[in-house]
Structures are given as structure tokens and as C-alpha cells.
């Protein structure tokens, strides 16, 4: 496909959904959070205002062009918070009329305290919200939310959504080494998941390069130990395992750039997500890196690739942030966290104002 797609990307090699065809409903890094672990970097538009950030018709037209890639899921996610789109419910209904592929919503859960958001999200087949902190103080430190979003609102919204949603509810718990992986915090998180009552609890950690270098991944062995604390026992999803078949596609360097714009990927991730042969993937990445379009970054024993300009394409927008909603990169002077007792209360930082 020669035409550049601004709102559809992938299929992405998802750690939970197999081959996931992504639908991006907001401009790059438009979100209600500014998480320290975010693989896309710092939030530039932190907001809770719902609007038609990108044209619904443009999104649906692009999606029709990609349905022949045979994804396992069509996932509303992308480079920001999808529940900020005011026509989310309509988009889900149009997709379901278009294809039998199940629709998933990958959300941080921060907007579920609003009744209208819960009603729209409940139209999806699978909903995957997140819980990253066991208490208000760590919530402020890790997620750096919009001022109108409190920890109490978050957990109340997650519980209220469970009461009305009859589809698959998979709750992700993002753990960070030294912050939320210690026994007291793990027990608190497990208690919250019992109250929320999801169908699945899925443990994740910051395996990809994060916004802040002090957001450290929890070792795999420790994640496996922590899983047993949750009821039902949690699944460890921090490493991707391909669930679908491999198909031949017409993926090219533009396809790779569109994928990397939404998430840093290893060479194996790109090959799995775009159904490319490994040798072809390696050649394309080498050419992109030689041309200065892609850079690599080592994280643990993995090498991740991301574009030198993370937001190169220009989505068809309707809404945009005003000066009161924007905020720049945050620099926090913290020591490298250790697995020993590290209390984020000692390292709090005033957050910028947003509306």
C-alpha cells in the first residue's frame, strides 16, 4: 500500500492480543497521564477533555484498507488515551459492523469514572485497563495524572465498569522495580484487584525504554513470584509470545516507521508484527538506521528501535491542545532505584498545571 496511513498501524506484536491492528484516535502523546514508564516518552498534551481529536470518517476509511491483514484483534490504543475521543462508541459500532474481528480497547482506565465513557467503552469485546499504583501517593508519582484525576476516582471507575461490563475484562498491573514490586505494595495491589474483580490480572513491567530512566523493569523471576499473590493468579505478560499464524505481507520501510512511531520494537517484534522474514526486517532496519530515520537503544539484553522523529505523520485532526493543556518534558532528579526500600514520597515533584 503506497498511501501513508495516519491512524491505522501494525499489526503490532502485542504481548496480550497476538497480532493487533492498532487504531490511533488522538494526536501523538495526548493523554490524561504522563507516566514515568511510558515507552513513547513525555506527554505533550495532558488533558481530560473529550473531543473528536481525529475525524471518525478518516479513521474508518483507513481501517477498511487494512482489514485484509487478518489481525487477531482491532485495538483502539496508539499514541495516547483512546477514551479521550468523543465518538469512541460510534467508532466501535462502525468497526463491529465492518468486520467480525473482535474490538479491544487498551486504556489507562483514568476516564472510567465518567458514566458516558463507561457506556461507550462497554461496547467493545475486550477492555484492558491499567492499575499501576496501590495508593494515592504512588499514583501521583508514577502516573503523573491530570489534576482532576485522583486515585479514588480511578479505582471507583474501574469497579463501576466491572459492574456493568459483560465482556472480557483484563486488568494490567504495571510493576516497577523498587517502587511497586516490594511485598507491601504488591499486597495492596492484589487487594485492589480482588475488589475490581477482572476476568484476568496481567503483570507487566517496563521492558521497553521508558520516559524516565529511573523507571526500572522488575526481573522475570520476581514477576513470576509476584503472580501467585493475586487472585485469580496473575499472568506475566512482560514478554511477547506470538499467538497467530505468520502471513506474507507487503510491508515496507514506511510500514516499519509507522509501527515504530507508536512503540519501540526489537527486530523480532517488527518481523512478527508485520509478518516479515527476519533477513528482510534486518535489512530494512539497517537501511533506515543508515539513513538517519531510525535509532537503536539497548534496554537490558534487547535492542529497541525507534524513529528519530517520533511523530512524523500528520493525523487528520479536529481538536488540538490549547496553551493551558500543554506541558513539556519533566526532569526529575532521582537516584537509580534499588530493590531495597525506596519510598517515592521522598522524591515527589510538583506537577505542571493542566486543564
Query: Quick one: average pLDDT of 176-181?
Result: 95
- Residues 159/160/163/165 CA torsion (nearest 10 deg): -100
In angstroms, the CA 239 to CA 256 distance is 20
* % of the chain beyond a pLDDT of 70: 80
User: pLDDT band at 4, cuts 50/70/90?
Assistant: low
3-state secondary structure 265-292: ECHHHHHHHCCCCHHHHHHHHHHHHHCC
The grid cell for 278 is 527476519
Contacts of 280 (CB under 8 A, 6+ apart): 271
In angstroms, the CA 43 to CA 329 distance is 7
In angstroms, the CA 203 to CA 174 distance is 6
Higher pLDDT, 323 or 144: 144
Read off the pTM.
0.74
User: pLDDT band at 351, cuts 50/70/90?
Assistant: very low
Residue found by looking up cell 533506515 in the block: 288
Rg (C-alpha) for the chain, rounded Å, is: 19
Which of 200, 233, 203, 241 lies closest to 220 in space, CA to CA?
A: 203
**Pairing assessment for the beta strands 8-14 and 18-24 based on DSSP bridges:** antiparallel
- Residues 37/190/12/220 CA torsion (nearest 10 deg): 70
pLDDT, position 321: 67
Contacts of 292 (CB under 8 A, 6+ apart): 308
Q: What is the DSSP string of 151-191?
A: HHHHHHHHHHHHHH--SEEEEEEEE-TTTT-SHHHHHHHHH
The grid cell for 310 is 517520533
User: pLDDT band at 189, cuts 50/70/90?
Assistant: very high
pLDDT, position 14: 80
In angstroms, the CA 325 to CA 34 distance is 12
**Pairing assessment for the beta strands 30-31 and 45-46 based on DSSP bridges:** parallel
Higher pLDDT, 184 or 3: 184
Which structural domains are found in the chain, ordered by start?
A: 8-322 (3.20.20.70)
User: pLDDT band at 250, cuts 50/70/90?
Assistant: low
233 pLDDT above the threshold of 70: yes
User: pLDDT band at 316, cuts 50/70/90?
Assistant: low
- The size of the chain, in residues, is 355
| Range of weakest confidence among 45-54, 199-208, 224-233, 275-284 | 275-284
Query: Quick one: average pLDDT of 43-64?
Result: 96
Residue found by looking up cell 474483580 in the block: 197
Higher pLDDT, 169 or 210: 169
Most confident segment among 23-32, 82-91, 227-236, 262-271:
82-91
Amino acid at each position: 500500500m503506497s498511501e501513508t496511513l495516519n491512524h491505522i498501524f501494525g499489526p503490532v506484536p502485542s504481548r496480550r492480543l497476538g497480532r493487533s491492528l492498532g487504531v490511533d484516535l488522538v494526536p501523538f502523546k495526548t493523554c490524561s497521564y504522563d507516566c514515568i514508564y511510558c515507552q513513547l516518552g513525555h506527554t505533550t498534551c495532558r488533558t481530560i477533555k473529550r473531543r473528536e481529536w481525529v475525524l471518525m470518517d478518516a479513521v474508518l476509511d483507513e481501517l477498511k484498507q487494512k482489514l485484509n491483514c487478518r489481525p487477531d484483534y482491532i485495538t483502539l490504543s496508539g499514541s495516547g488515551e483512546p477514551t479521550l475521543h468523543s465518538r469512541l462508541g460510534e467508532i466501535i459500532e462502525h468497526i463491529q459492523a465492518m468486520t467480525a474481528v473482535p474490538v479491544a480497547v487498551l486504556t489507562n482506565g483514568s476516564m472510567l469514572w465518567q458514566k458516558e465513557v463507561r457506556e461507550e467503552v462497554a461496547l467493545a469485546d475486550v477492555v484492558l485497563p491499567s492499575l499501576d499504583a496501590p495508593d494515592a501517593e504512588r499514583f501521583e508519582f508514577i502516573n503523573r495524572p491530570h489534576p482532576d484525576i485522583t486515585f479514588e476516582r480511578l479505582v471507583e471507575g474501574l469497579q463501576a465498569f466491572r459492574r456493568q461490563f459483560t465482556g472480557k475484562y483484563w486488568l494490567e498491573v504495571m510493576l516497577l522495580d523498587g517502587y511497586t514490586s516490594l511485598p507491601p505494595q504488591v499486597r495492596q495491589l492484589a487487594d485492589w484487584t480482588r475488589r475490581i474483580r477482572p476476568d484476568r490480572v496481567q503483570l507487566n513491567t517496563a521492558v521497553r525504554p521508558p520516559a524516565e530512566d529511573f523507571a526500572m523493569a522488575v526481573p522475570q523471576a520476581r514477576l513470576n513470584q509476584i503472580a501467585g499473590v493475586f487472585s485469580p493468579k496473575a499472568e506475566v505478560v512482560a514478554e511477547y509470545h506470538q499467538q497467530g499464524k505468520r502471513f506474507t505481507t507487503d510491508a515496507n520501510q514506511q510500514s516499519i516507521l509507522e509501527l515504530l512511531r507508536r512503540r519501540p520494537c526489537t527486530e523480532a517484534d517488527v518481523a512478527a508484527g508485520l509478518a516479515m522474514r527476519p533477513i528482510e526486517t534486518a535489512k530494512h532496519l539497517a537501511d533506515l538506521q543508515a539513513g538517519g530515520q531510525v535509532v537503536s537503544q539497548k534496554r537490558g539484553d534487547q535492542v529497541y528501535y525507534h524513529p528519530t522523529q517520533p511523530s512524523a505523520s500528520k493525523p487528520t485532526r479536529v481538536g488540538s491542545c490549547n496553551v493551558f493543556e500543554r506541558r513539556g518534558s519533566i526532569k526529575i532528579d532521582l537516584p537509580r532505584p534499588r530493590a531495597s526500600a525506596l519510598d517515592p514520597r521522598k522524591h515527589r515533584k510538583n506537577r505542571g498545571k493542566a486543564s
